[in-house]
Amino acid sequence: MLLFLISCLSDHYLTHKIVEERILYDTAYVEVIVEVEKEVEVEVEVEVEVEVEVEVPENYPLWSQTYIQPSLGNGVDILWVVDPSGSMMNNWPQVVLGVEQMMLALPTNVNWRLEIIPTDHIRAKNLQSFPILPGDSLQTAQAHLQNNIQGHWEKGMDAVKDYMTQNLDALQWMRPNVALLIIFVSDENDSSSQTSSQFIQWVQYQRTEVYVTSIVNVDPANSLCPTEYSNWDIGTDYMDIANYFSGITIDICETDWTSGVTQAAQQVHLIDEIQLDYTPVDVDHIEVLVDNVVWTDWTWDEPNNKIIFSVMPPEGSIITVSYNYL
Which domains, from first to last, does the chain contain?
A: 73-266 (3.40.50.410), 272-324 (no CATH)
Mean pLDDT of the chain, nearest integer? 84
Burial state string for 198-227 with b = 16 or more CB within 10 A and e = fewer than 16:
ebbeebeeebebbbbbbbbbbeeeebeeee
pLDDT digits (tens, 9 = 90+) for 32-87: 555 656 565 656 566 666 565 545 546 899 999 998 888 777 899 999 999 998 88
Banded model confidence at residue 230, pLDDT cuts 50, 70, 90:
low
pLDDT, position 58: 60
Amino acid at 11: D
Number of C-beta neighbours around residue 37 at 10 A: 4
The answer on pLDDT for 18 being more than 70 is no
**257-to-93, 102, 138, 180, 247 alpha-carbon distances in Å:** 11, 10, 17, 21, 15
pLDDT, position 46: 60
The DSSP output letter for 83 is -
The answer on pLDDT for 112 being more than 70 is yes
Whether pTM > 0.75 for this model: the answer is no
The candidate with the shortest Cα–Cα distance to 251, out of 191, 189, 196, 187, is 187
Q: What is the mean pLDDT of residues 294-306?
A: 96
pLDDT digits (tens, 9 = 90+) for 180-223: 999 999 989 999 999 999 999 999 999 989 999 999 988 877 77
pLDDT, position 124: 97
The answer on pLDDT for 22 being more than 90 is no
The answer on pLDDT for 9 being more than 90 is no
Cα(144)–Cα(160) distance, rounded to whole angstroms?
Answer: 17
Strands 210-216 and 293-294, bridge-based pairing: unpaired
Cα(273)–Cα(200) distance, rounded to whole angstroms?
Answer: 29
Query: Which has the higher per-residue pLDDT, 299 or 55?
Result: 299
- Give the highest mean pLDDT range of 10-19, 155-164, 213-222: 155-164
Q: What is the mean pLDDT of residues 254-262?
A: 87
Residues 6+ apart with CB under 8 A from 287: 294, 321, 322, 323
Q: What is the mean pLDDT of residues 116-132?
A: 96
The answer on pLDDT for 90 being more than 60 is yes
pLDDT, position 38: 57
pLDDT digits (tens, 9 = 90+) for 160-183: 999 999 999 999 999 999 999 999
